[in-house]
Structure 1
Amino acid sequence: MNKKQIYILATGGTISAQGDEGKTLGYTNGVFKLGSIIKTLKGIENISNLDGEQIFNISSEDMCIDKLLILAKRINELSKLDSIDAFVIMQGTDTLEESAFFLNLVVKTSKPVIITGAMRPATANSADGPNNLYDAIVVASNKDAVGKGVLVVFSDYIISGRDVQKVDTFRCQAFNGKEFGCCGYVHDDIVNFINKSLKPHTINSEFNIDNIKSLPKVGIVYFDADLDSDIFDYYISRDYKGIVIAGSGSGMISKRWKNKILEMTKNSIAVVRSSMAEGGSVDRDNLDEEYCTIPAYTLTPLKARILLSIALEKSNSYDYLKSVFERY
């Protein structure tokens, strides 16, 4: 069997962390570098040939869009090499869902791009990092992963980069695909895909970051019944080009918020309505026509922020932005 050549991009996170022996809290990220982590993977030499680099060494809370641009451009550059068959990214879990969706929109390759991490530091009892990394490499090496877009492999699940969401703060089974389920599972060297995302991604995405150094600023504002609409003045004064509202129910907001939103949209600040609810969809509503807001459909506030920022780089046209959220 010809083994696949997998390129690993390590960025830090809990998977690289050291703490008190056996404990899961109070650890330090980035202590263990890529080479030492790979050495913990028993039998991986029978699956794939590995190469890679430590592109960052940060906690995932510091994985900002500027760093994601660097990561995505590096993948796009390396993907042109015939000697590399697939990519595995190691990062912290706190912003993993944002990274997965961002990369899903901007990497330009059909080669597998798999993201994984860990909920427990490497020094904990039953650390989950080695198994997650092993599984990610197995999936990256599988021919059926080609063309599936960016995938997250975690706790035996394979989840679409579009729909993945962190749902737990300390248990190992910390991610799911919301109500859309997972794309499949991995068990030792067995990979079983059962569905795939039908939304545009990677080579079928319209977004190109080759000449982009930064993206327009987009903020998220969580609605509550008593929050004053003056909160938006902070974003207006700092030249934010878009706002995602995490509204109540199906993206609903109060009358006083609507007045401020109309003021913003009239001044070419894009406003997207999403929801704090875990399930369901924020669909077209009469208020979108009246206040020029855009529904996020099934995207979470975090995912809506990513999409709006990337789309604003191309155009701030209301009709264009509306169509982007309908398609992605």
Structure 2
Amino acid sequence: MKKVYILATGGTISAAGCEGKTTGYHDGKFELKDLLARVKGAEKLAKLEGEQVLNISSDDITWGDWLSLAGKIEKLSLRSDMDGFVVTHGTNTLEETAYFLNLVLKTEKPVVLTGSMRPATANSADGPQNLYEAIALAASEEAKGKGVLAAFSDLILSADRIQKVNCFRTDAFSGRDFGCIGYMQDSVPKFLQYPVENHTTHTRFTTEALKRIPRVEIAYFSADADPEILEFYGKTAEGLVIAGAGSGLFSKPWKEKIRGIAREIPVVRSSRVGNGMVSQDHCDEELGTIPGGTLTPVKARILLTLALAMGAGQGEIGEIFKQY
């Protein structure tokens, strides 16, 4: 039987509220042992070990928490008796944690994130089934070498494409234009496609290189948005991501501000839309910005931070965004 290590970090899957209700709950009320007690048949999927790494809302997760989590997984992955990993996580920033781990972890053993949209005390809590499927996926041979994955609401999603698309329903995640990469049918993974972007052992990024976390911010553009916020970021940040309208665009007043800022720090154009692609165009030539490709603003921020941490310059950052 395979051995799977579970790292619990909190989130709604660990939450408690009024019995039966799906709202008004508080995170961090249950620990890993309590979660596993609700998962019927988990002991038949794999030998389980684990620990409570954190017990917080994922809104409160930090770069330090990411580094600690990555370090634990990498150390445990060196054990010959360890076959895979599950991370229980709040849904609000699950996609960010997954993408960070996907870029820095150096293991081909399966790493699977999961969580829930309903607290453990709800009548139809979704956490136990999601955790059951995540354990099964982490213990499977099929998940090896496919980068960091998420198991949620019967879907298998890749870390580079996963996005939370619903803040209420249990099927809260999507692979966006790219779809899911497979389904979980109880304990059996059915892969439909494989991740094609560089990940884990195929990236240039390592946790050792993150001696200091550069400050990268996101500016959200809207109609008639005041460009003065860009002045603040230009003075305080080391990199900037613009969540632009449409294909990463913004107004003439914003362009004027960005033109000057991009001479001092790298500025990445992303889109607030959530689907599609921000590709190279005259805007980048005119302003000195970098197109964010298919990355959402929050993932573009992570990639830009890692690029800056390894000392990449403007030209190299552009190439990095093409690769990842």
For normalisation by structure 2, the TM-score amounts to 0.98
What amino acid is aligned across from residue 285 of structure 2 in structure 1? E
CA-CA distance at 1:190 after TM superposition: 1.6
Q: How does 1:1-328 map to 2 (within 5 A)?
A: 3-238=1-236, 240-267=237-264, 269-328=265-324
CA-CA distance at 1:234 after TM superposition: 2.2
CA-CA distance at 1:237 after TM superposition: 3.3
**Separation in 1 of the partners of 2:267 and 2:209?**
26
Report SS of the residue matched to 1:279: coil
CA-CA distance at 1:214 after TM superposition: 3.6
CA-CA distance at 1:213 after TM superposition: 4.1
Report SS of the residue matched to 1:144: coil
- For each residue in 1:221-248, what CA deviation from the matched residue of structure 2 results, as whole angstroms up to 9, or x when unmatched? 111221121101222333x111110111
CA-CA distance at 1:35 after TM superposition: 0.8
Could you tell me whether the CA contact under 8 Å between 1:158 and 1:186 is conserved in 2?
A: yes
For normalisation by structure 1, the TM-score amounts to 0.97
CA-CA distance at 1:215 after TM superposition: 1.4
**Separation in 2 of the partners of 1:214 and 1:286?**
34
Show structure 1 runs of 5+ residues with no match: none
Report SS of the residue matched to 2:116: coil
- For each residue in 1:238-270, what CA deviation from the matched residue of structure 2 results, as whole angstroms up to 9, or x when unmatched? 3x1111101111111112211211211212x11
Q: Say which is worse superposed, 126-135 or 56-65, in terms of deviation.
A: 56-65
| Equivalent residue pairs, number | 324
**Separation in 1 of the partners of 2:51 and 2:275?**
37
**Separation in 1 of the partners of 2:100 and 2:212?**
13
CA-CA distance at 1:107 after TM superposition: 0.7
- For each residue in 1:89-147, what CA deviation from the matched residue of structure 2 results, as whole angstroms up to 9, or x when unmatched? 00100000111111100111000000000000000011000000000000111101000
Could you tell me whether the CA contact under 8 Å between 1:166 and 1:174 is conserved in 2?
A: yes
Show structure 2 runs of 5+ residues with no match: none
Give the 3 Å change call, closer, same or farther, for CA 213–11 of structure 1 in structure 2: farther
Q: How big is the alpha-carbon RMSD for the aligned residues of Structure 1 and Structure 2?
A: 1.0
What amino acid is aligned across from residue 172 of structure 1 in structure 2? T
